[in-house]
């Protein structure tokens, strides 16, 4: 699903964007920082119970207030990845300056805010709080901080999350999607545990987990593409023949070269 202000009249853009962000993520107050026409776009997909969104917008401030929290029925935890621009993130009495490539963890059941001083883009991964299996005290130790991705577990996690955010989950069977979401949740739980208890984990555990989850997602993506090509071939036999011909020609050339 993609929601954008592009075709909305200028006078209605801010109200539309407030509604789009609140319906897609969680209810928030959104206040643009500029005086001109506002531009924003949010694209959302689901991988089982994991929601993956990409937000691109002009300078603005997001605020999650106690009144808005009281209207929400589900407790969620989110992991944000700053793609471009900067942000000031505040939660649990801590303030973090978030730069390009940084990660943040936040709990939607407690007030927080993001202040973006210029146009920005960010990925947001939202999951039910109950799926994480980590204590509330551990989450509180991680919120309100910017997690760098120059080294350590963050460096391993960043490219994986970027790939996941840019991939479509439409063709995953429900069982595969839920299993994949569970693996991603394991990564987030490990990230929180590593930050909340530095030095208290096996140093190789995070890297092993990333490799295991990456292999699983790669296998799922391969199956997804195979299913797509099969459906496309079934719906359009002529297209399938046209795609197969270059492959056969290549095989024949390879066989001819081998015989020489």
What was the pLDDT predicted at 185? Answer: 85
Question: What's the CA gap between 142 and 102, in Å, rounded?
Answer: 13
Q: Domains (ranges, CATH) in the chain?
A: 2-259 (2.60.120.10)
Predicted confidence pLDDT, tens digits, the chain (260 residues): 899 999 999 999 999 999 999 999 999 999 999 888 899 999 999 888 899 999 999 999 999 999 999 988 889 999 999 999 999 999 999 999 999 999 999 999 999 999 999 999 999 999 999 998 888 999 999 999 999 888 777 777 888 788 778 776 665 667 767 777 787 888 888 888 888 887 665 555 555 655 655 565 565 555 555 555 555 566 665 644 555 554 444 444 444 434 44
Kindly report, residue by residue over 154-177, the tens digit of the pLDDT.
Answer: 777 888 788 778 776 665 667 767
What was the pLDDT predicted at 234? Answer: 61
Kindly report, residue by residue over 64-97, the tens digit of the pLDDT.
Answer: 999 999 988 889 999 999 999 999 999 999 999 9
Q: Are 113 and 61 in contact (CB under 8 A)?
A: yes
Q: Are 218 and 184 in contact (CB under 8 A)?
A: no
- Candidates 174, 221, 28; CA nearest to 113 is 28
What was the pLDDT predicted at 191? Answer: 84
Question: What's the CA gap between 214 and 103, in Å, rounded?
Answer: 19
Full-model pTM: 0.78
What was the pLDDT predicted at 247? Answer: 42
- Specify which residues 52 forms β-bridges with: 45, 125
Token pair in block for residue 2: 């993609």
């Amino acid at each position: 699903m993609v929601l954008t202000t592009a075709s909305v009249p200028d006078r209605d853009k801010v109200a539309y964007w407030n509604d789009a962000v609140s319906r897609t993520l969680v209810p928030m107050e959104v206040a643009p920082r500029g005086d001109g026409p506002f531009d924003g776009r949010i694209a959302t997909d689901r991988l089982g119970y994991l929601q993956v969104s990409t937000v691109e917008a002009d300078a603005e401030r997001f605020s999650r207030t106690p009144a808005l929290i009281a209207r929400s029925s589900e407790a969620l935890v989110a992991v944000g990845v700053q793609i471009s621009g900067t942000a000031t993130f505040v939660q649990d009495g801590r303030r973090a300056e978030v730069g390009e490539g940084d990660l943040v963890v936040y709990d939607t059941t407690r007030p927080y805010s993001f202040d973006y001083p210029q146009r920005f883009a960010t990925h947001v991964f939202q999951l039910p709080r109950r799926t994480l299996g980590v204590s509330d005290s551990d989450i509180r130790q991680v919120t309100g901080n910017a997690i760098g991705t120059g080294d350590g577990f963050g460096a391993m996690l960043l490219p994986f999350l970027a790939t996941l955010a840019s991939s479509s989950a439409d063709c995953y069977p429900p069982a595969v999607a839920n299993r994949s979401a569970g693996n991603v949740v394991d990564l987030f739980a490990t990230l929180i545990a590593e930050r909340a208890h530095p030095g208290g984990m096996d140093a190789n555990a995070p890297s092993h987990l990333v490799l295991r989850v990456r292999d699983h997602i790669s296998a799922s993506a391969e199956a997804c593409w195979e299913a797509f090509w099969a459906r496309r071939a079934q719906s359009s036999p002529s297209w399938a023949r046209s795609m197969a011909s270059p492959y056969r020609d290549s095989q024949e050339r390879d066989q001819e070269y081998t015989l020489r």
